[in-house]
């Protein structure tokens, strides 16, 4: 089965959907982290059957979440594999 929402970041430029900036890559490897969102809209939505996907650079992500009334949940990763 095809993994529809896994993006191979080596193959093509990754741009932040908000500011349009192309994210830094060296030798095909992404040199900064990026927020990636995929949403499959369902039956109770006017977007039923649509799959939305976008990237946000860290700066745009910070700007987005700073506008939230309720802060996002942040958990610390205890173990890094
Ligand atoms: Zn951005």
The pLDDT tens digits of the residues spanning 2-59 come to: 444 455 555 677 899 999 999 988 887 888 999 999 999 999 999 999 999 999 999 9
Instruction: Using the mean position of ligand 1's atoms as its centre, give its distance from the Cα of residue 41 in Å.
Output: 24
Cα 3 to chain center, whole Å?
16
Instruction: Using the mean position of ligand 1's atoms as its centre, give its distance from the Cα of residue 36 in Å.
Output: 12
Q: What pLDDT is stored for residue 27 in this prediction?
A: 81
Q: How far apart are CA 43 and CA 46, in angstroms?
A: 8
Nearest to 74 by CA among 61, 55, 59, 60: 61
Q: What pLDDT is stored for residue 5 in this prediction?
A: 45
Q: Which residues pair with 29 in a beta bridge?
A: 26
Q: What pLDDT is stored for residue 3 in this prediction?
A: 44
Tokens of 38: 């995929």
Instruction: Using the mean position of ligand 1's atoms as its centre, give its distance from the Cα of residue 1 in Å.
Output: 32
Task: Tell me which residue has tokens 């987005």.
Answer: 64
Q: Is pLDDT at 62 greater than 80 in this prediction?
A: yes
């Amino acid at each position: 089965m095809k993994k529809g929402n896994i993006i191979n970041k080596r193959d093509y430029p990754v741009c932040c959907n908000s500011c349009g900036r192309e994210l830094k890559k060296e030798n095909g490897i992404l040199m900064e982290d990026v927020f990636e969102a995929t949403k499959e809209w369902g039956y109770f939505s006017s977007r039923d059957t649509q799959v939305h996907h976008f990237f946000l650079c860290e700066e745009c992500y910070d700007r987005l979440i700073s506008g939230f009334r309720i802060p996002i949940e942040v958990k610390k990763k205890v173990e890094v594999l």
